[in-house]
Copies of this chain bind each other. A is one copy, B any other.
C-alpha cells in the first residue's frame, strides 16, 4: 500500500533475495533450484556425462535410486530439455538416454559445485562435528 514511501528503499521494489536476480525471475529461479535440489536429477546427469546410457545402466549407475524415481527424474529432465530419450523399436526394447547440449552446460556448473564441495569438504565437516580441531 501507500506508494508514497518512495525514499524508503526497503523491500518494496528492492532486490530482496533478488540480490541474486531480478524479481521477475524469482519463481523461475525457484523452479531451477527445485530441480537442482531434486534428490536424484544431478546424479542422473552426472551418470550421463560420459555418454549415453540405457535405463538399467542408469539404475546401476545411480545406486539407491528406485525405478519410480528414475523414471520420474528422467521425464523431468527430458521435459526441461536437459536429456534426450531415444527408444529403439526392437525386442527386447532398448532406450538410450543422453545429455543434450543444454544438459552438458548444466553439468559444467554442477562440476564446479561438486568441486567446491570436495575442496571445502573438511572445512565444513569441522564446523559441523565440533569446531575444535
A residues apposed to B, CB below 8 Å: 1-2, 10-11, 14, 16-21, 25, 28-29, 32-34, 36-39, 42-44, 46-47, 49-51, 60-63, 79-81, 102, 105-106, 109-114, 116-118, 120-121, 123-128, 131
Contact = CB atoms under 8 A, between A and B. Distances in A.
Give the number of times this chain occurs in the complex, counting copies. 2
Contact of A32 (B1, B112, B117, B127): B117
A126 B19 contact: no
A74 to B, nearest CB: 14
A128 B79 contact: yes
A25 B115 CA distance: 11
10 contacts: A14-B61, A19-B46, A25-B121, A28-B121, A32-B113, A33-B42, A34-B39, A37-B38, A81-B127, A112-B112
A11 B124 contact: no
Contact of A105 (B29, B102, B116, B121): B116
Contact of A36 (B18, B28, B37, B118): B37
Given A16-B62, A17-B62, A37-B36, A1 B50 contact: yes
Given A123-B102, A128-B80, A114 B28 contact: no
Contact of A11 (B29, B36, B61, B127): B61
